[in-house]
Amino acid sequence: MPPSDTGKLWGGRFSGSVDPLMVEYNQSIYYDRIFYKQDIAGSIAWARANKNVGILSDDEYKRIVEGLKEVEKEWEDNTFEIKPGIDENAQPVRWSHWLCSYALAFASDLERLLEVTKRVNKSPLGCGALAGNPFGVDRDAIAKELGFEGLLMNSLGAVADRKFALETMQWAAELMTDISRISEDLILYGSAQYGFVRLADAYSTGSSLMPQKANQKNSDSLELLRGKSGRVIGQMVGLNCTIKGLPSTYNKDLQESVEPLIDCVKTVSDSVRILNGVISTLDIFPNKMLAALEPGMLATDLADYLVKKGVPFREAHHVSGQVVSLTESKGIAMDQLSHKDLQGVDRRLGSDFVFDYESSVEMRTSKGGTSKSSVREQIELLKTLVSES
């Protein structure tokens, strides 16, 4: 069955029209179009990868590349017609995969910290007030003695330089953003609506006002981590605003770099220790996670099943959307549909398709995926990154 008359990839599920303002509000194509060459190059690389694993034939790959080259020419000639649309789709993932997503983010933060440390570890000593010193002092020897990795080579710039503070605070803002994001996730996962995790007593409190929360812990530690990220980001922006308007050499405004830097370093240090304590003492409830899974999350698997049978993804996506729509009209879960129901949507949906969460995650075996083998690969990478840091 072909895609709907709306021309939208997701049209199979929806029967109503979208508010035109919502369509305009949602789309970013008018900004993204500057990347058309890169997007097309990526699409060709992806098509080649699909050909290499047998999803596309040589002829199909050739036709796709030819089509994409035509699209590229239309962009170059400014004749390409933009058709707006909206994306969607949830999928089951392993808890370990979710943990790895943040662990790798923090590993990247550590890598950036080491880079920042090396870049800003330059000595200003020997520059005098602003013009240098007249006594032939060996600046290199002083820098080496104090553990610097080099010199700030211009005396005018050196006395005004606060990159060591600003870059440290910029790095801290990135780290605290990651800390805030994992905190927000854990706040949600620990709420009554989810119940996936529970904080240890050391990092939570009860409610002094609401008796209905007597057995529910407040996620004070996580909320504070989330809140202090704004503090660190604000300190970084504040120092940047102080520096941006200063003339050459030292100005007294630069005194304002000391207090926020000291506070920033302490806040980050405390936050890392608190988050480590939260994660290492967290109670996790896998049964609650399993109970929260919903068969509709496997709609993408349905589309993938059809793709493996040679159905173009656009068409497979539409069929999957129709199956979701059918479950909504019947008021049942997707895995409660009979084989006859599925055949009524599309004859190519065979009895060999099974709605199964474990099978779903185990199919995602590519690097970075959520299968056990992929997660183990991520864990080994993390061990390597930590050992080399």
Q: What is the pLDDT of residue 18?
A: 74
- Find out whether 278 and 203 touch, Cβ atoms under 8 Å: yes
**Residue 25 corresponds to which tokens in the numbers above?**
């509000």
- In whole angstroms, what is the distance from residue 37 CA to residue 43 CA? 10
Task: Estimate to the nearest angstrom the gap between the alpha carbon of 230 and the chain centroid.
Answer: 19
Q: What pLDDT, in 10s, does the model give residues 230-271? A: 999 999 999 999 999 999 999 999 999 999 999 999 999 999
pLDDT, one tens digit per residue, over 331-381 is 999 999 999 999 999 999 988 988 899 999 999 999 999 999 999 999 999
At 112-140, the pLDDT tens digits run 999 999 999 999 999 999 899 899 899 99
The model's pTM is 0.86
Beta bridge partners of 283: 198
From-to residues of CATH 1.20.200.10 in the chain:
95-291
CATH H superfamily, domain 95-291: Fumarase/aspartase (Central domain) (1.20.200.10)
The tens digit of pLDDT for each residue in 267-310 reads 999 999 999 999 999 999 999 999 999 998 999 999 999 988 88
DSSP secondary structure string, 101-163? HHHHHHHHHHHHHHHHHHHH--B-TT-TTTT--SS---HHHHHHHHT-SSB---HHHHHH--H
Contact 46, 114 (CB under 8 A): no
**Res 209 pLDDT > 70:** no
Given the structure tokens 């159905």, which residue do they identify? 311
